[in-house]
Amino acid sequence: MPKKVDFPSNQPGDIETITDGFFEREVYLSGEETASFLRTLADALEDDSEVTIHGDDWEIPFEYAEPIEVEVEFSNRSGRELEIELEFEEPEDDGSLSAE
């Protein structure tokens, strides 16, 4: 069973399950809050190939395939900035045939 990973939010309401279209949410967290979120995500990744990321009023169940793309970007053009991005892709249907 996929582990739920809480994405910190402060907007209470009904839960909307996002499975199609475009969705984006951005929050600003302390170092401690960010570490807690990443630990929970890491545990979920070790447990299963499906995670559910959710906030107060939304959730995104997602089955992913390996490898997971990890991108590190540094810029000092308009101030020093370090960006770390994880990209998960859904499993591909390989369309293979088999007979038994």
The CA-atom distances, in angstroms, between 97 and each of 29, 65, 83, 91, 100 are 48, 20, 42, 17, 10
pLDDT in tens, 52-91: 998 888 999 999 999 999 999 999 998 999 999 999 999 9
Neighbours of 52 (CB within 10 A): 17
Task: State mean pLDDT over 90-97.
Answer: 72
Neighbours of 96 (CB within 10 A): 5
Task: Give the pLDDT band (50/70/90) at residue 94.
Answer: low
* pLDDT given for residue 5 in this prediction: 75
Quote the pTM value: 0.74
pLDDT in tens, 1-19: 666 777 665 555 688 999 9
Whether residue 67 is preceded by a cis peptide bond, meaning omega within 30 degrees of 0, is yes
Query: Is residue 40 within 8 Å of residue 5, measured between CB atoms?
Result: yes
